[in-house]
């Protein structure tokens, strides 16, 4: 039914033969090629890619829209690397401007969530030369001793490449060790843009694209799922975004281990690329939509609201996005330091649910691997009752 409705809308707008053929492929559930992905970027307007992405989103998930309850631990912002877009890290020589948590500091954070209904801890930070794989293995074991039930999503491929190299372990050995300590999955950071020419200009000294992909492949083989990100809206061209997604799509065909794709908009506050203007919201929505269309083998596309802002995150739910991350409790600094929308990113469960309902969608709390924990469709929050009372009195 919806296919017919979308088809009739597509037929009633004037499209070039190329866009018509791509649209028909999407409506018939066929994969589009790299060339067709690039054509969508250059030739299709927001209305068209939005309708196609929404069609796929509705086919895969209906109105289901996921969020989770998590908190972040950022062990340090001291980093041996010097990515040009990063506002967060401090080189070792400027150590006094950074932070380094001790093991106990981090366990105190976990303790502070002991009685809270969080299901995930996201552990990511700078690449500190003195925090090695055994330090982090011990951290995970101790986190699990405090909260045996919590899902540990930890360490980008950039951190993992460095810690395995320092410990003289292969990626498989390092990942298997961390898995034994209790690590459950990998976040999607560090991917940036895989094109080697662009990568060398924005983050030349950290792990290569091939290493990023290899680490995720090894993790998937060990039964650890992961996410994938793409940093867009800086010096890359549309071709590079499609190439990036194509490399991810190929790996997903091989392993099926990716949960979610997360496009990350480049923010230009206080970094070495501050002269580059940020892209518009239209470009953000087009990127979410084209990702949804191109990555046919990814179940989920996530808008990370602390970075993109809650209004755009809400809008994105009609442009292919079906996940808006979690109720982060002001525990991440990576975006606020780069000038993102949310300087102190906190949203209560009520606010997240309201945002999803406001877009006409169904709010579902999930765990990291998308098991549904609670359907909030009919839940009435105390805050909601108070808001209504204020409105009607
Ligand atoms: O890899 C750094 C990005 C990433 C900037 O897997 C920037 O669930 C924009 O990957 N402008 C780390 N982006 C964060 C990350 C992440 C976040 C939320 C959820 C998940 C997940 C993963 O942050 C880095 C880099 O691409 N980043 N600086 C900046 N100025
Ligand atoms: Fe270090 Fe990550 Fe910042 Fe790069 S993006 S400088 S690896 S903290």
Tens digits of per-residue pLDDT, 30-73? 999 999 999 999 999 999 999 999 999 999 999 999 999 999 99
Question: How many angstroms separate the most distant Cα atoms in the chain?
Answer: 68
> In a mutational test of the pocket of ligand 2, which residue from 76, 82, 88 has the highest number of ligand atoms less than 8 Å from its CB?
88
pLDDT of residue 139: 98
Annotated domain spans of the chain: 2-61, 65-375
Neighbour-count burial of 132, counting CB atoms closer than 10 A to its CB (0-12 exposed, 13-18 middle, 19+ buried): middle
Q: What is the DSSP letter of 259?
A: E
Residue whose C-alpha is closest to residue 223's, from 255, 254, 195: 255
Please report, rounded to a whole number, the percentage of residues in the chain having pLDDT higher than 70: 90
Tokens of 349: 């469960």
pLDDT of 377 strictly over 60: yes
Torsion of CA 156, 159, 161, 165, to 10 degrees: -160
What span, in angstroms and rounded, lies between the C-alpha atoms of 326 and 120?
A: 9
Please report, rounded to a whole number, the percentage of residues in the chain having pLDDT higher than 90: 79
CA 117 to centroid of ligand 2, rounded, Å: 30
Q: Identify the nearest ligand to the CA of 279 by its number.
A: 1
Which range (13-17, 47-51, 206-210, 251-255) has the least confidence?
13-17
* Dihedral pair phi/psi, residue 277, rounded to 5°: -70, 150
Ligand 2 atom with minimal separation from the 158 CA: 7
What span, in angstroms and rounded, lies between the C-alpha atoms of 86 and 75?
A: 16
pLDDT of residue 330: 47
What span, in angstroms and rounded, lies between the C-alpha atoms of 40 and 27?
A: 15
> In a mutational test of the pocket of ligand 2, which residue from 160, 206, 269 has the highest number of ligand atoms less than 8 Å from its CB?
206
Higher pLDDT, 335 or 251: 251
pLDDT of 270 strictly over 90: no
Neighbours of 316 (CB within 10 A): 29
The mean per-residue pLDDT over the stretch 212-240 comes to 98
Torsion of CA 135, 141, 145, 151, to 10 degrees: 120
Residue 25 bridge partners (DSSP): none
Is the CB of residue 338 below 6 angstroms from any atom belonging to ligand 2?
no
Question: Residue 307 — very low, low, confident or very high, per pLDDT cuts 50/70/90?
Answer: confident
Is the CB of residue 6 below 6 angstroms from any atom belonging to ligand 2?
no
CA 332 to centroid of ligand 1, rounded, Å: 11
**Mean pLDDT score of the chain, rounded to an integer?**
92
Residue whose C-alpha is closest to residue 144's, from 181, 116, 108: 181
Is the CB of residue 248 below 6 angstroms from any atom belonging to ligand 1?
no
The mean per-residue pLDDT over the stretch 375-382 comes to 90
Residue 231 bridge partners (DSSP): 264
Is the CB of residue 89 below 6 angstroms from any atom belonging to ligand 2?
yes
Is the CB of residue 231 below 6 angstroms from any atom belonging to ligand 1?
yes
Domain 65-375 annotated CATH 3.20.20.70: yes
Is the CB of residue 187 below 6 angstroms from any atom belonging to ligand 1?
yes
Tens digits of per-residue pLDDT, 89-121? 877 667 777 889 999 999 999 999 988 889 999
pLDDT of residue 114: 87
Q: Are 193 and 236 in contact (CB under 8 A)?
A: yes
| Residue closest by Cα to atom 17 of ligand 1 | 189
What span, in angstroms and rounded, lies between the C-alpha atoms of 180 and 178?
A: 5
CA 154 to centroid of ligand 1, rounded, Å: 13
Q: Identify the nearest ligand to the CA of 212 by its number.
A: 1
């Amino acid at each position: 039914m919806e296919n017919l409705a979308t088809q009739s809308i597509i037929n009633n707008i004037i499209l070039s033969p190329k866009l018509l053929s791509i649209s028909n492929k999407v409506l018939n559930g066929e994969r589009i090629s790299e060339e067709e992905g690039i054509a969508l970027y250059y030739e299709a307007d927001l209305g068209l890619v939005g309708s196609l992405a929404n069609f796929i989103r509705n086919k895969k998930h209906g109105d289901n829209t996921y969020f989770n309850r998590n908190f972040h631990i950022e062990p340090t912002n001291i980093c041996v690397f010097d990515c040009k877009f990063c506002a967060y890290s401090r080189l070792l020589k400027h150590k006094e401007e950074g932070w380094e948590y001790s093991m106990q500091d981090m366990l105190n954070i976990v303790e502070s969530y002991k009685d809270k209904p969080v299901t995930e801890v996201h552990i990511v930070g700078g690449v500190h030369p003195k925090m090695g794989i055994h330090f982090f293995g011990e951290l995970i074991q101790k986190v699990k001793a405090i909260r045996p039930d919590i899902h540990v999503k930890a360490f980008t491929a950039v951190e993992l490449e460095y810690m395995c190299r320092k410990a003289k372990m292969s990626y498989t050995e390092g990942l298997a060790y961390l898995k034994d300590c209790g690590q459950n999955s990998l976040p999607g950071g560090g991917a940036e843009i895989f094109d080697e020419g662009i990568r060398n200009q924005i983050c030349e000294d950290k792990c290569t694209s091939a290493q990023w992909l290899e680490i995720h492949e090894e993790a998937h083989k060990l039964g650890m799922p992961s996410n994938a990100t793409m940093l867009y809206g800086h010096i890359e061209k549309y071709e590079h975004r499609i190439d990036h997604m194509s490399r991810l799509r190929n790996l997903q065909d091989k392993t099926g281990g990716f949960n979610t794709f997360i496009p990350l908009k480049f923010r230009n506050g206080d970094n070495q690329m501050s002269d580059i203007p940020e892209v518009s919201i239209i470009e953000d929505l087009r990127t979410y939509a084209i990702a949804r269309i191109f990555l046919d083998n990814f179940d989920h596309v996530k808008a990370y609201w602390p970075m993109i802002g809650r209004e755009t995150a809400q809008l994105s739910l009609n442009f292919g996005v079906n996940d808006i991350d979690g109720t982060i409790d002001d525990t991440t600094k990576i975006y606020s330091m780069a000038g993102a929308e949310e300087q102190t990113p906190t949203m209560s469960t009520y606010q997240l649910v309201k945002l999803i309902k406001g877009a006409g969608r169904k709010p579902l709390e999930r765990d990291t691997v998308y098991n549904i924990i609670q359907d909030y469709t009919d839940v009435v929050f105390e805050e909601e009752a108070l808001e209504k009372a204020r409105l009607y009195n």
